[in-house]
Amino acid sequence: MLNKEKHHQILLQITKDIYTNIHISSLLGFKGGTAAYLIYNLPRFSVDLDFDLIDPTPECIATVHQEMHTILQHYGTIENEYQKNYTLFFLLSYEAQHHHIKIDISTRGWYNEYTVQEYLGIPMLVMNPPYMFANKLAALTDRKKVFMRDVYDIWYFFTKRWEIEESVIQKRTGKTLKQYITKDCIPVIEQIKNEELLLGLGEYLNESQRNFVKTKLKQEVLFQLRILADSLE
């Protein structure tokens, strides 16, 4: 069983080491669930680390690869690492290989925007909310299957009334925001079965949150998407 406190501590230590490293701190934009959890108060636990390589030149990729390897080996065993398909990936195991942290660094070079945010006194380069929201929406159809954590995060971003950076949707999907919402997002979420609602998500929520997911999440997200689509030209 995952020890959330221990896992959280290691995530923070790794993130601190990244953003106090003079060689890579300005090269990596913090994004994804853990960034949203730490910086934007996403009310679910997140177990992995996701970054954008802001300047994906061969030299920067090599520097980040080397420095990340050095950082991670202090916290356990690097079971896997590779660079392919616009991704620099590490799989770290700790505590006798019983628990894992995935570190995923995108080298695709999507245009996103970031702002320096402080967490526990450490300045971190974090993806801005409109870009995080847009990328989360795009992820709904990027993956081979729907991840319920994406649906949950989309619901949360709607509750925060974040803007959506439409240029991200256009670049990643080739569609306008309205087209993407109506032709892709809504149909995908409509197809989610009741028995799938907590898959990959339930263990990171408390009982009240799990009840919300089982009874209301799907309809709440669909409602917000329909309102959004109706408001767009």
The tens-digit pLDDT sequence of the chain (233 residues) is 788 999 999 999 999 999 999 999 999 999 999 999 999 999 999 999 999 999 999 999 999 999 999 999 999 999 999 999 999 999 999 987 678 999 999 999 888 999 999 999 999 999 999 999 999 999 999 888 899 999 999 999 999 999 999 999 999 999 999 999 999 999 999 999 999 999 999 999 999 999 999 999 999 999 999 999 999 98
160 Cβ contact list (under 8 Å, min separation 6): 40, 129
69 Cβ contact list (under 8 Å, min separation 6): 78, 81, 90
pTM of this structure: 0.95
Domain 1-127 class? alpha beta
- pLDDT on residue 97: 65
Centroid of chain to Cα 130 = 13
- pLDDT on residue 2: 84
DSSP letters of 120-182? TTEEEEEE-HHHHHHHHHHHHHHSSS--HHHHHHHHHHHHTT----HHHHHHHHSS-HHHHII
